[in-house]
Structure 1
Amino acid sequence: MYVYIPTTQLKPAPIIVAIHYCTGTAQKYFQGSNYASLADTHGFIVIYPNSPSSGGCWDVASTASLTHDKGGDSQTIVNMVDYAVKNYGGDADKVYATGSSSGAMMTNVLAGAYPDVFKAGSVYSGVPDGCFYVAGATAGMATPGWSNSCANGQNIKTAQAWGDLVRSYYPGYNGTYPKIQIFHGTADNTLDYPNLAEQLKEWSNVFGITFTKNVTNNPQSGYTQMVYGNGSQLVGYSAQGVGHTVPIHETMDLAWFGIA
C-alpha cells in the first residue's frame, strides 16, 4: 500500500484508489498519472496498491477475489481503504476506484464485490467483472487466472447473464452499485475491443438501464460517448484507433467522482 497525502487535505478527504496495469507498480502508476498533483489542488487522498504477483497483474479470477469478504487482492485493497479512513482522515462515504488494463479489471471487480465501499469507478481498457474467472486460480502466478478467450473478446454473454454474475459476488446485497464510466480503444489488441460492449451490457443490466444515445467527438475528436439511461450511472467511451491502453483522463475522472 502506497499513499499520497495532499499538501492541503480536506477533512474528511475523498479517497481515489488508482490501480496499476500488468508489469506495472504503484510507483509507475503514480509517475504515469496526474492524480497526485490534482490531489494537491482538490484535497483528496490517493491510494496506489502494488500487486503481490511476480508479473504485476491483479487477481481478478479467483473465487476469493471476486466475492465479497472472501479474501484475495480485492479485499486487500478494501483493507487499504479502511486503513486510510482510520489513519489518514479519509472519507468512507467518498471512495472511488480507477485503473488501467489489469487495474481496470480490478476496478470492475471492486465495484461488483464491494459496492458498499466504492461510490464510482473509472475503467481504462479492461474486461467485464468475472470475465477472467478461473476456479482455483493460484495467487502469485505471473498472470493470475489469465483467460485468452476473455482477453480476445470471445466471452460473449447476455446482459442478464453478466448482471447475474455481478450480483452473485455479493449475495443478498440490495443497495446501490457504483456508477461506472468505461474507456476502450478500437485498436486494442491486448484486451480486444468487444470487451467494451460486454462491460456496458453487464453494468446496464446491474443498473436496470438501457442505451440512450451516442455523442460523437466527446470528450475529444475520435472518441464517441455512449450514454446509458440519463448518463448519471453508466457511460462508455469508444476511442477510435487507440490501442492498449486508453490514456488516462484524470479531470474526467474527478468530474465523474464528483470531486471537481
Structure 2
Amino acid sequence: MRIRRTLLLGLAASLVAAGLVVPTLRPAYAASLAEVASFGDNPGRMRMHVYVPDVRPARPAVVVAMHGCGGSGPGFYSGSEFAAQADRYGFIVIYPTATQQAGFGNCFDVWSDAAKRRGGGSDPVSIISMIRYAQQQYGADPGRVYATGSSSGGMMTNHMLALYPDVFKAGAAFMGVPYNCFANAADFPPTSSQCTGGNMNRTPQQWGDAVRQAHPGYSGPRPRVQLWHGTNDTLVPYSLLQETIEQWTNVFGLSQTPTSTDTPQANWNRRRYADTSGTVQVEAYSIQGAGHSLPSGGMAASAVQFFGLTTPPTTPTPTATPTPTTTPTPTTPPVAGACRVSIAINAWSSGLTENVTITNTGASAINGWSLVFTLPGGQTVTSGWNATYSPTSGQVTARNVAYNAGIPPNGSVSIGFQAAHTGNTAGPGSFTLNGAACTIA
C-alpha cells in the first residue's frame, strides 16, 4: 500500500510538468510572472502569482489557471500554454498555489465542509479574493472571468463554477471530477477514495442537484463548461468524465445525447451539447490513449477559444515601450553559513519532484543568485519552476528568474524541479549560493 501511495503521489506531483508542453516561446520583452503578497481574505493560506501581458485592453478578461496536486502556480505557468495565449489575446492569468495537504501536498480543497459552502472559507474564498484583487488593481472585467485547471485544479474548476456561477462565465476542466464528488478529506486520496475509486455512479439528477444546492435560489445564467479527459487515465478514472457530463448537462436542462460529435484533431473525440438556441453549453473531449497528462499541446488554445477570448487586443495599455527583462548580476558571495537550504522529495518508480527552499541567513540582502548542487548519479532534470536549471545532470546551477531575484535577510525563496531517475532518489549532498556553502536543514 505504501508503495502504491508513493507512486500515486508522484503521478499527482508530476502533473506540474509530465505530459505538459513547454509554453510557446515569447519575446524577451514579454511580461513576467509576479507574486502578490497580500490580495485580501485568504482562509486557504494560498499564494497568488499573476501574469499581466504588456499589451491588453482597458478591461481585460481574467483566467484563473490551477495546478495539480504537488504542483504550484509558477510550475503551472511554466508547464502550460496559458501565458502564451495571454500574450496573444491580452487577458490576465492568475496562478494560485494551493497549500492543503490531504495526504498529497498542495492540493486544492474540494472536500471540506467549508469549501463546499459559498463564502464558507478555505480555498474557494481565497481564489475569489485573487479575482477581486485583479479587478481592482488592473481594471479587469467582472463579466469575463474564467476558470481552468488540471487534475486537482480541474476538480477546483468544476467546484468554483458550482459555487460561484455569478462570477465565472465559463470553465475548462482537465482530468477533473464532478462537483461534490468527495465526501470529506478522508475520501480524497485515490488509494481509498470512493470518488476516484472507479465505481462512482450517480444519476444526472443527483449530480445536478448537488450543483443547484451549492448556491440555493440562484436563477441566473450558468457558466459554460468544457471538459477534457484521457481514455487511459487511471489516477482520476476516465469514467468520471461521463459523470461530469451528466452533472452539467442536467444543470443546463440538456439531453444526455450530444447534439454533435466530431474529431477536431487526431485522437481528440469531441461531444457537444447545445441548447435550443444552438449555443454549446457543455463540450467534452476524450483524448484517445492519453493518461494523467493533460493539458498537452494546443489544448490551452482550444480552451481559450471556447471562452471566446481569441480577439487580439487593439488598444495597448498606457505603459512605456517594454524593454528586455534582464537577470540581475549575482551579488558578492555571502559569508560562509549565511544561507540555509531545505529540501523535500516526492519520488515514484521512475521520477521525483524536489522542492528547495533557500533562506538568506546573513545580514545583507541578496540581489541575484545562483544555487549550485550536484545531482546523484542517474538523475536528470526534466523541468523546473521558479528558476532556470543548467545543465540537466551532474553539477547543476539554478539561477533566479526576474520575479525572485532578491532575498532579504531572513527571507526565503522556494524553487523546485522534476527529475527522472534510475533508482537513486536521494537529494544533493551540498549546496553553494553565489559561491558560498549553505547549511542543509
Smaller-chain TM-score bracket: over 0.9
Task: Give me the whole-angstrom Cα distance separating, in 2, the residues matched to 1:241 and 1:149.
Answer: 24
CA offsets, 1:184-217, max 9 Å, x none?
Answer: 111001000110000000000000011224524x
Matched, 1:215 2:293: no
- Alignment match, 2:50: 3
Q: CA deviation at 1:25?
A: 0.4
Q: Which runs of 5+ in 2 are unaligned?
A: 1-47, 311-441
How many matched pairs? 252
CA distance in 2, matches of 1:144, 1:8: 44
Match of 2:78 in 1: 31
Within 2, Cα distance between the matches of 1:77 and 1:155? 28
Q: 1:252: how far off?
A: 0.7
- Which of 145, 162, 168 is equivalent to 1:112? 162
In structure 2, relative to structure 1, the CA distance for the partners of 1:37 and 1:222 (3 Å cut) is closer
Moved more, 240-249 or 47-56: 240-249
Does structure 1 residue 226 correspond to structure 2 residue 258? no
- Residue pairs, 1:174-253, within 5 angstroms: 174-210=219-255, 211-213=257-259, 215-216=261-262, 218-229=263-274, 230=278, 232-248=280-296, 249-253=299-303
1:52 corresponding residue in structure 2:
99
Residues 121 and 181, structure 1, Cα contact 8 Å, conserved in 2: yes
Distance 1:214 1:245 in 2: 26
Report whether the alignment pairs 1:65 with 2:111.
Answer: no
2:124 matches 1:74:
yes
Distance in 2 between residues matched to 1:226 and 1:152, nearest whole Å:
25
**Distance (whole Å) between structure 1 residues aligned to residue 270 and residue 110 of structure 2:** 27
CA distance in 2, matches of 1:133, 1:85: 33
Equivalent residues of 1:124, 1:245 under 8 A apart: no
In structure 2, C-alpha distance between the alignment counterparts of 1:247 and 1:46, rounded to whole Å:
16
Structure 2 counterparts to residues 33-182 of structure 1, below 5 A: 33-54=80-101, 55-134=105-184, 137=185, 145-146=188-189, 148-182=193-227
Structure 2 residue identity aligned to 1:43: G
User: Greater RCO between the two (CA within 8 Å, min separation 6)?
Assistant: 1
Instruction: Name the SS for the 1:233 alignment partner.
Output: strand
Name the larger-Rg structure. 2
Q: 1:111 to 1:241 in 2, by over 3 A?
A: same
Q: Which is richer in strand? A: 2
Q: What amino acid is the match of 1:233?
A: Q
CA distance in 2, matches of 1:183, 1:120: 14
Deviations 1:105-144 (A, max 9, x none): 000000000001000000101110110131xx4xxxxx88
1:22 partner SS: coil
Return structure 1 stretches of 4+ with deviation > 4 angstroms. none
Moved more, 230-239 or 166-175: 230-239
Q: 1:50 to 1:94 in 2, by over 3 A?
A: same
Task: Measure the CA separation in 2 of the matches of 1:37 and 1:228.
Answer: 29
* Cα distance in 1, alignment partners of residues 294 and 188 from structure 2: 23
Q: Could you tell which deviates more after superposition, 240-249 or 195-204?
A: 240-249
Cα distance in 2 for partners of 1:206, 1:76 equals 26
- Quote the offset at 1:219 in angstroms: 2.4
Cα RMSD of the aligned pairs, angstroms, is 1.5
Given that 1:60 and 1:133 are in contact with CA atoms closer than 8 Å, whether structure 2 keeps it comes out as no
Is the CA contact 2:260–2:273 (under 8 Å) kept in the aligned structure 1? Answer: no
Contact map agreement 1:62 1:145 (CA 8 A) in 2: no
Aligned-partner SS, 1:151:
coil
Q: Which amino acid aligns with 1:125?
A: M
Q: Is the 8 A contact 1:21 1:100 kept in 2?
A: yes
Give the Å deviation of 1:38.
1.8
